C-alpha cells in the first residue's frame, strides 16, 4: 500500500464514535491523511456495530457496493464489533478486505498498519484476552467544545440478548490518574463539556491504589477547573448507587440527567433477560432521582418482543412508562444475536407483533414528552450552544438535562456563539425539542 490516505465511516454508539476519534488520531500519527470520500482514499475503514442485525448488515452492504465499484487497488479494513464477532469469516464474505480487528486490539493498530503497508492481505487483531484499554494521546476530536473520555471498556454482565461481552471483551477500568489527566488536559485546551463513557460506567473500579469508585471519579472530574458539564453513559441499574445522585446534588458541574436503561417493565422478562434487578429494585433508583434536590431528567432504553414477552409483560412496560414518565427513551425491537443466551429461548415474537408493540411504546412516550416538555414553557434554562441553523435563523443549544433547545438572539445574530453558555427562556415545546429566546448576557 503506497497511498497513505484514508476514509473512515463509523456505525453505532458513542463508544464507536469515540473509538473512531482515537483510530483517526493513530492513523494520522502513522503518517496517514484523512479524506472525505471512500473513492479518493487508499485505505477505507469501516468501524462497525453488531448490536442489532440491521446495524450488522450495513457494513456488508457497503463492502458489496465497493466490490462492484471502485474497490480495485484500495485496502479495506473492517474494525469494531462486527469484526470481532465475524472474525476471519469476513475474508470469505468479502475477499477484498485486508484487515479485521476488534476494539480490544486497537493498541496494536500501528503494527497492523505496518503489515498492511508491507502488502499483507490478511491481517487480524481478534484476541479478547487483554487487560489493556486503548489510551492514546493522539485522539482527533470531532468537536472543539464537547469531548468523550472512555473510563471503562468491555462488559462483565451477560444480558441474555446482548452481543457486547463477546465483541468488546471483559471489563477493564482505566486508572483514575489517567482519566483525570485526560480531563485536565481537555479543560486546558478549552473543552468545557465532557462525557464519561463505558458500557457500564457504574461498575468503574480504579485499578490503582487510590481505588476510586464511579461516584468519586464523577465528582472529581466535575471539580476540574474549566469543566462546566459532565455527563456519563451508560449506567446499569444493578450497579447504580445512591452516591451518584448525591454527587449530582452536590456538584453543579454534573449534568442533571441520568440514562438508566430498564429494557422491560416486567420482572419476569427482566429475569429471563438476566438483567439482575427486578422492577421494584429499578423503581427504588428512580425514587432516589425523583427525591433529589436537583430536577434530574431520566431517560431509558426499552426492548420489545423479547422471546416469551406476553401481552401482560408488555402492558407492564407501558405501565412503567406512565409511572416513571421518562424525559426520552430509545426503543428497540428484540434482534436475535449470535452467541447470546436468548438465541435458544422459545416463544419467539413475530416481526409484526414487535412492530405493533414498538409503535404503541413510541406513541405513549411521545404523549409523555409533549406533556413534560410543555411543562418547561416559561422557565429559563442554561444551554451550551452547539451550532446554528441558518435556515431557521436559530441557534442550537443543549440543556443540562440533555434537551435540545433552539433559540433566537436577534440583536447579535452573526456573533459566534458556538461553545458558549447562554440563558434561554423556553417559549414553545414539541415532543423532541424546545424553542426559546436568549434572555441575558453570554458567558
Binding stretches for ligand SAM (CB under 6 A): 13, 51-52, 161-162, 164, 199-200, 234, 236, 261, 263, 301, 303, 332, 334-335, 337
CA–CA gap between residue 438 and residue 368 (Å, rounded): 26
Q: Measured from the CB atom, is 4 or 157 closer to ligand SF4? A: 157
For position 152 contacting ligand SF4 by CB under 6 A, the verdict is: no
376 contacts which partner out of ligand SAM, ligand SF4, none, CB within 5 to 8 A by kind? none
For position 157 contacting ligand SF4 by CB under 6 A, the verdict is: yes
Binding characters for ligand SF4, 227-256, by CB under 6 A (x = yes) = ---------x--------------------
Residue 199 to residues 86, 98, 156, 174, Cα–Cα distance (Å): 21, 29, 10, 13
By CB under 6 A, which span of 59-67, 84-92, 153-161, 324-332 interacts with ligand SF4?
153-161
For position 199 contacting ligand SF4 by CB under 6 A, the verdict is: yes
CA–CA gap between residue 382 and residue 424 (Å, rounded): 6
Q: What is the DSSP letter of 363?
A: H
82 Cβ neighbours under 8 A, 6+ residues apart: 48, 49, 50, 56, 59, 90
By CB under 6 A, which span of 159-167, 217-225, 241-249, 355-363 interacts with ligand SF4?
159-167
- Distance in angstroms between the alpha carbons of the first and the last residue of the chain: 49
- Secondary structure (DSSP) of 241-279: -HHHHHHHHH-TTB-SEEE---B-S-HHHHHHTT-S--H
The dihedral built from the CA positions of residue 114, 117, 121 and 125, taken in this order, carries a sign that is: positive
For position 159 contacting ligand SF4 by CB under 6 A, the verdict is: yes
CA–CA gap between residue 33 and residue 11 (Å, rounded): 21
358 contacts which partner out of ligand SF4, ligand SAM, none, CB within 5 to 8 A by kind? none
332 contacts which partner out of ligand SAM, ligand SF4, none, CB within 5 to 8 A by kind? ligand SAM
Q: Measured from the CB atom, is 75 or 289 closer to ligand SAM? A: 289
Q: Measured from the CB atom, is 182 or 309 closer to ligand SAM? A: 309
Q: Measured from the CB atom, is 52 or 236 closer to ligand SF4? A: 236
CA–CA gap between residue 43 and residue 18 (Å, rounded): 20
For position 164 contacting ligand SF4 by CB under 6 A, the verdict is: yes
According to CB under 6 A, which residues from 129 to 148 bind ligand SF4?
A: none
- Closest distance between ligand SAM and the C-beta of residue 24, in Å? 21
For position 364 contacting ligand SF4 by CB under 6 A, the verdict is: no
CA–CA gap between residue 105 and residue 441 (Å, rounded): 48
Strand boundaries in 169-319, DSSP class E: 172-173, 193-197, 229-233, 257-259, 297-304
CA–CA gap between residue 405 and residue 387 (Å, rounded): 11
Q: Measured from the CB atom, is 62 or 236 closer to ligand SF4? A: 236
CA 82 from centre of chain: 17
- Closest distance between ligand SAM and the C-beta of residue 292, in Å? 21
Q: Measured from the CB atom, is 200 or 317 closer to ligand SF4? A: 200
Residue 203 to residues 71, 234, 249, 258, Cα–Cα distance (Å): 43, 10, 20, 15
- Closest distance between ligand SF4 and the C-beta of residue 19, in Å? 15
Contact set with ligand SF4 (CB under 6 A): 155, 157, 159, 162, 164-165, 199-200, 236
Amino acid at each position: 500500500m503506497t497511498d497513505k490516505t484514508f476514509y473512515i465511516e463509523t456505525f453505532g454508539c458513542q463508544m464507536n464514535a469515540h473509538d473512531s476519534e482515537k483510530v483517526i488520531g493513530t492513523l494520522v500519527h502513522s503518517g496517514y491523511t484523512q479524506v472525505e470520500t471512500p473513492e479518493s482514499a487508499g485505505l477505507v475503514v469501516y468501524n462497525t456495530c453488531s448490536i442489532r442485525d440491521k446495524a450488522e448488515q450495513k457494513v456488508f452492504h457497503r463492502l458489496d457496493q465497493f466490490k462492484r465499484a471502485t474497490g480495485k487497488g484500495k485496502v479495506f479494513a473492517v474494525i469494531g464489533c462486527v469484526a470481532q464477532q465475524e472474525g476471519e469469516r469476513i475474508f470469505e464474505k468479502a475477499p477484498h478486505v485486508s484487515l479485521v480487528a476488534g476494539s480490544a486490539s486497537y493498541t496494536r493498530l500501528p503494527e497492523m498498519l505496518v503489515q498492511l503497508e508491507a502488502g499483507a492481505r490478511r491481517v487480524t487483531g481478534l484476541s479478547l484476552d487483554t487487560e489493556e484499554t486503548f489510551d492514546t494521546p493522539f485522539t482527533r476530536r470531532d468537536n472543539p467544545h464537547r469531548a468523550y473520555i472512555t473510563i471503562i471498556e468491555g462488559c462483565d454482565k451477560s444480558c441474555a440478548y446482548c452481543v457486547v461481552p463477546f465483541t468488546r471483551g471483559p471489563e477493564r477500568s482505566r486508572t483514575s490518574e489517567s482519566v483525570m489527566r485526560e480531563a485536565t488536559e481537555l479543560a486546558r485546551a478549552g473543552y468545557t463539556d465532557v462525557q464519561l463513557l463505558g458500557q457500564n460506567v457504574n461498575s468503574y473500579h480504579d485499578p490503582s491504589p487510590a481505588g476510586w469508585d464511579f461516584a468519586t471519579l464523577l465528582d472529581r472530574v466535575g471539580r476540574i477547573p474549566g469543566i462546566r458539564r459532565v455527563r456519563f453513559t451508560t449506567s446499569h441499574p444493578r450497579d447504580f448507587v445512591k452516591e451518584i445522585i448525591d454527587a449530582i446534588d452536590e456538584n453543579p458541574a454534573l449534568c442533571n440527567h441520568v440514562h438508566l436503561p430498564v429494557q422491560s417493565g416486567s420482572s419476569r422478562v427482566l429475569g429471563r433477560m438476566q438483567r439482575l434487578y427486578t422492577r421494584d429494585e429499578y423503581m427504588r433508583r428512580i425514587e432516589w432521582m425523583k427525591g433529589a434536590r436537583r430536577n434530574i431528567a431520566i431517560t431509558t432504553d426499552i426492548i420489545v418482543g423479547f422471546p416469551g414477552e406476553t401481552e401482560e409483560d408488555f402492558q407492564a412496560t407501558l405501565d412503567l412508562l406512565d409511572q416513571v414518565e421518562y424525559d426520552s427513551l430509545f426503543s428497540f425491537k428484540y434482534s436475535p444475536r449470535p452467541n447470546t443466551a436468548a438465541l435458544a429461548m422459545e416463544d419467539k415474537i413475530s416481526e409484526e407483533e414487535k412492530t405493533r408493540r414498538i409503535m404503541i411504546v413510541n406513541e405513549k412516550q411521545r404523549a409523555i414528552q409533549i406533556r413534560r416538555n410543555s411543562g418547561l414553557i416559561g422557565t429559563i434554562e442554561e444551554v451550551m450552544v452547539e451550532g446554528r441553523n441558518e435556515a431557521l435563523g436559530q441557534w442550537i443549544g443543549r440543556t443540562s438535562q440533555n434537551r435540545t433547545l433552539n433559540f433566537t438572539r436577534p440583536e447579535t445574530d452573526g456573533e459566534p456563539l458556538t461553545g458558549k453558555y447562554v440563558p434561554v427562556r423556553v417559549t414553545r415545546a414539541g415532543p423532541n425539542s424546545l424553542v426559546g429566546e436568549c434572555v441575558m448576557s453570554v458567558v
